[in-house]
Amino acid sequence: MTDTSPSADGAPRAPRRRFRVLRWILAALGALVLLLVAGILIYSQVGVMGAEPDPLAEARANPGLTITEDSTAVILTPVAGDTGRGLVFIPGAKVDALGYVATFEDTVVDDGVTVVITRPWLNLAFFDPRPLSTFTDLAPDVSAWAVGGHSLGGVRACQLAGDADALVLFASYCANDLSGSGLPVLSLSGSEDGLSTPQKIADAAKELPADAVFVEIPGASHASFGAYGPQAGDGTPTADPAEVDRVIAEQLAAFLPTP
């Protein structure tokens, strides 16, 4: 039988024991949450892949390119004037936004496209709840927007695609169903990608509209879509980085929506 006899001060013993157990459980749950948050914070800051210095320096020296940075994004604008076309680009997990500046240099300078490279919270796109307008508002002169992303950033771009005029996947694929959206979609991938492999791209194609355009770049690996160095688990690229950037620019020039 449960002991409900009064203690020396007259209070029942069983309710007190239950209250102590409840406090222990709540304290344990609180400690677990704190450990989880601390773990995520540490993971998000350790091993962040920064931009390779030489490609970034070359892009900064390009007289046709203006690079504007703040805590929200890196904004690339053409000095000669934009065409009203823009791309909001979401980086892959734990890749510095500056690691993609060289990738879009030709797109901005040669084709007049404004590119807003986001800086996701905690360096992980999944933890960034900001809407697409947070980034499109940074370039108010642009009136036709595509959203895109690399790797995990592409998965997040799929979630924001309903607010854009088009979607571009860079070595990525959607986890949500856009097959009935009617949205123009361009999927750029690499034949040597060891992470978003050609098979994974093919398996996820059912999530995209039937008229989605798929372009596999010969010799490109997962990290070929940025300039941040090699990446663990990736394949070995055989394509010249400048050639990959050229193909990306050509495909974007032909695909991105116009005002």
Is residue 11 scored above 70 in pLDDT?
Answer: no
Which pLDDT score, from 0 to 100, does residue 17 have? Answer: 74
Q: Tell me: the pLDDT tens digits for 103-135?
A: 999 999 999 999 999 999 988 988 899 999 999
pTM given for the model: 0.85
Q: Which residues contact 137 (CB under 8 A, 6 or more apart)?
A: none
Confidence of residue 82 (pLDDT cuts 50, 70, 90): confident
Mean pLDDT of the chain: 90
Q: Tell me: the pLDDT tens digits for 159-211?
A: 999 999 999 999 999 999 999 999 999 999 999 999 999 999 999 999 999 99
Question: How far is 138 from 89, CA to CA, in rounded Å?
Answer: 13
Question: How far is 242 from 209, CA to CA, in rounded Å?
Answer: 30
Give yes or no for a contact between 148 and 164, defined as CB atoms under 8 angstroms apart: no
Which of 189, 196, 235 has its CA nearest to residue 216? Answer: 189
Question: How far is 186 from 168, CA to CA, in rounded Å?
Answer: 5
Q: Tell me: the pLDDT tens digits for 227-247?
A: 999 999 999 999 999 999 999
∠ CA(249), CA(252), CA(254), 5° rounding? 110
Q: Tell me: the pLDDT tens digits for 244-256?
A: 999 999 999 999 9
Q: Which residues contact 217 (CB under 8 A, 6 or more apart)?
A: 188, 189, 190, 191, 224, 239, 244, 247, 248
pLDDT more than 70, % of the chain: 85
Which pLDDT score, from 0 to 100, does residue 43 have? Answer: 47
Is residue 44 scored above 50 in pLDDT?
Answer: no
Separation in Å, CA 81 to CA 16, 89, 106, 140, 142: 73, 20, 14, 13, 11
